[in-house]
Amino acid sequence: MFKDSVITAKFKKRELTIALVCFGLAFIVNVCCVIAYSCPWVEIFTQIGFVIVFALIFYALCIVARLLALAVTRLIRKCRG
């Protein structure tokens, strides 16, 4: 009834990379906010909770974008024959 799923090392590496990139982006957003709103630099550490939430949002957006891309690719392949 259920099939075994295999998570390959390549898959894990790719997802981890994407997650790290998302975290990096969120971190940069926080740094930009500190500069733009003239806030104390200590917020880089104190606002880490917000950074993690932002990173999760970016990662979720990435998943949605990749799913959309996959759907479009499959549709095109199907149309071609």
Which positions touch another protein (CB under 8 A)? Answer: 29-30, 33-34, 36-37, 39, 43, 46-47, 50-51, 54
Minimum CB separation of residue 22 from another protein in Å reads 15
Minimum CB separation of residue 17 from another protein in Å reads 24
Nearer residue to another protein within complex by CB, 49 or 81: 49
Instruction: Tell me which residue of 65, 48, 55 sits closest to 20, measured CA to CA.
Output: 55
Provide the token pair at 42: 């200590």
Q: In the chain, how long is the greatest CA-to-CA distance?
A: 59
User: What is the C-alpha separation between 74 and 68, in angstroms, rounded?
Assistant: 10
Nearer residue to another protein within complex by CB, 19 or 34: 34
